[in-house]
Amino acid sequence: MPVTIVLPVALQRLAGGKERVEVLADTVGSALSALAADAPKLSSQLFDAKGAIRSFVNVYLGDEDTRFLKGADTPVSDGDILTIVPSIAGG
């Protein structure tokens, strides 16, 4: 199923300058894995040493934060849009 992943500016350079990438996937985790396979420089930005999505990588399915759904196991459907939103720290 084609799913579109929208990348923040900070990650676009690691994905060949692309703002959007279309991947075939059935879950959020498999979508991010497909993205990392297509743009290997993104892998360390998306996943920790154990292969889990990094805590500072926020992934939204539509308007829903996937952490409050099923995380990496959140199912995705044909035409869904995932948006990666980096955490911002400040004081």
Query: What is the structure's pLDDT at 83?
Result: 97
Q: Which residue has the tokens 């420089």?
A: 41
Q: Are 77 and 28 in contact (CB under 8 A)?
A: no
Q: What is the CA radius of gyration of the chain?
A: 12
pTM check: above 0.75: yes
Instruction: Please tell me the distance from the alpha carbon of residue 60 to that of residue 66, in angstroms, as a whole number.
Output: 6
pLDDT tens-digit readout, 22-73: 999 999 999 999 999 999 999 999 999 999 998 889 999 999 999 999 999 9
Query: What is the structure's pLDDT at 28?
Result: 97
Domains belonging to the chain, first-starting first, are 2-86 (3.10.20.30)
